[in-house]
């Protein structure tokens, strides 16, 4: 029997038993579709999160007070009390040639009021370069002025939401708001940012870092954002930060420097693992589909014993019979897998329509492996029924009518 005849014969019987074919296609299809859809979700989430981090700024290093031994991990919560990271430290770092600009950050929380309205928000103290380091845009007015960072000028920039809540649609620029027990003049309003990580840039007020330090009565910075001159300069910048801090902190570089790459890489790893796990779980449904195919094929063999007997009487070898049934199982799983890929893609398209921000797409490796697993299970679970068919005694098979 040639391969073409084999396929034609197997296709004929696949088409001849509609219900059984539809059932197996359904099972295989659901299995493959879920693998495709779930990996697409995992991949989408991964890209979303790493994209978020990238949007924080390029060539960015983050300096935190205190040393953390885990590379690229979270800031230390416990351990020795580190020396404060001060504004002078930050300005010293700025002098390195590997560093383009820095933005020191001091944070706290305070009530912000205008006339009788008051809101409790995050107060972020920083310098003029923050807007460049974080790639923010202004909706109106201007950002903090350049100048000596040590000067605590009474000016502020409002987040879009805070502005709405204090002023409604009315003009805000040039007005005086009260933050804590001091008065600040509004310089500008931040544009609402589509996405943000960490601090909510909408519900925030930004003041000069020196003003924040005096408002919260502290010399310590929350962190320092450092932008390296280029991608290649990142290691040099890191070294410069360490050297500077060691010099200023009596020989101890008691800070943690997180590069964005490290953070992104960590998230990448986490999400890839997550995607693989989810895909693995979805593959279980493929195995279930394989078992269904086995069942269906076993029923097919017992329904068609007389056909098997006839084929043997007409001179088919056991090998030929085996190939016929394996071809059927393969066709079932192949078509099921194809249907699953189509359904999975359709699902992705639909989700993409409603949540374009995730920009879903199934990775090629997921589709390839789903189809491969479908084929393998189909074949694997097809072997047992095919062998049963091949071993049938032709006399008994024919007598069974």
Positions in the binding site for other proteins (CB under 8 A): 1-2, 5, 9, 12-13, 16, 306-307, 309-320, 394-395, 398, 401
Closer to other proteins by CB, 353 or 401: give it. 401
- Cα torsion 43, 48, 53, 57 to 10°: value is 120
Per-position b or e across 305-336, b if 16+ CB within 10 A of its CB? bebbbebbeeebeeeebbbbbbbbbbbbbbbb
- Cα torsion 213, 219, 221, 222 to 10°: value is -80
Q: From the centroid of its chain, how far is CA 94?
A: 33
Give dist(CA 279, CA 376) in Å, integer. 16
User: Smallest gap, in angstroms, from Cβ of residue 392 to other proteins?
Assistant: 11
Closer to other proteins by CB, 9 or 216: give it. 9
User: Smallest gap, in angstroms, from Cβ of residue 318 to other proteins?
Assistant: 6
DSSP state of 158: E
User: Smallest gap, in angstroms, from Cβ of residue 338 to other proteins?
Assistant: 23
User: Smallest gap, in angstroms, from Cβ of residue 401 to other proteins?
Assistant: 5
Closer to other proteins by CB, 368 or 396: give it. 396
Give the residue among 88, 71, 61, 63 at the shortest CA–CA distance from 228.
Answer: 61
Closer to other proteins by CB, 59 or 304: give it. 304
User: Smallest gap, in angstroms, from Cβ of residue 323 to other proteins?
Assistant: 11
Closer to other proteins by CB, 207 or 316: give it. 316
Tokens of 115: 């006339």
Closer to other proteins by CB, 194 or 315: give it. 315
**What percent helix, strand, coil does the chain show, rounded to 5?**
55, 20, 25
């Amino acid at each position: 029997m040639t391969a073409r005849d084999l396929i034609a014969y197997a296709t004929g019987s696949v088409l001849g038993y509609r219900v059984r074919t539809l059932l197996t296609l359904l099972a295989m299809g659901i299995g493959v579709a879920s693998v495709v859809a779930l990996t697409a979700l995992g991949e989408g989430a991964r890209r979303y999160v790493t994209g978020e981090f990238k949007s924080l700024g390029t060539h960015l290093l983050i300096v935190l007070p205190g040393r953390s031994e885990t590379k690229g991990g979270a800031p230390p919560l416990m351990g020795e009390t580190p020396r404060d990271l001060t504004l002078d430290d930050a300005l010293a770092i700025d002098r390195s040639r590997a560093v383009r600009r820095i933005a020191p950050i001091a944070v706290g929380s305070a009530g912000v009021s205008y006339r009788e309205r008051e809101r409790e928000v995050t107060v972020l103290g920083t310098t003029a370069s923050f807007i460049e380091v974080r790639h923010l845009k202004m909706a109106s007015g201007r950002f903090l002025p350049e100048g000596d960072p040590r000067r605590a000028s009474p000016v502020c920039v409002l987040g879009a939401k805070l502005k709405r809540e204090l002023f409604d649609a009315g003009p805000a620029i040039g007005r005086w708001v009260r933050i804590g027990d001091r008065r600040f003049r509004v310089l500008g309003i931040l544009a609402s940012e589509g996405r943000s990580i960490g601090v909510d840039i909408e519900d925030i007020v930004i003041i000069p870092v020196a003003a924040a330090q005096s408002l919260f009565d502290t010399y310590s910075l929350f962190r320092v954002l450092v932008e390296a001159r280029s991608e290649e300069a990142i290691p040099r910048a890191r070294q410069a930060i360490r050297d500077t801090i060691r010099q200023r902190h009596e020989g101890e570089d008691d800070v943690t420097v997180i590069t964005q790459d490290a953070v992104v890489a960590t998230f990448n790893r986490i999400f890839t693992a997550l995607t693989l796990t989810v895909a693995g779980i979805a593959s279980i449904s493929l195995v279930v589909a394989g078992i269904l195919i086995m069942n269906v094929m076993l029923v097919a063999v017992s329904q068609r014993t007389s056909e098997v007997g006839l084929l043997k009487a007409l001179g088919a070898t056991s090998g030929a019979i085996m190939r016929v049934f394996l071809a059927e199982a393969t066709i079932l799983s192949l078509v099921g897998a194809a249907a699953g890929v189509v359904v999975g893609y359709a699902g992705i398209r639909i989700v993409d329509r409603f949540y374009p921000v995730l920009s879903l797409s199934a990775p090629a490796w997921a589709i390839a492996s789903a189809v491969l697993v479908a084929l393998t299970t189909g074949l694997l679970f097809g072997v047992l029924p095919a062998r049963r068919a091949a071993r049938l005694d032709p006399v008994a098979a024919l007598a069974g009518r």
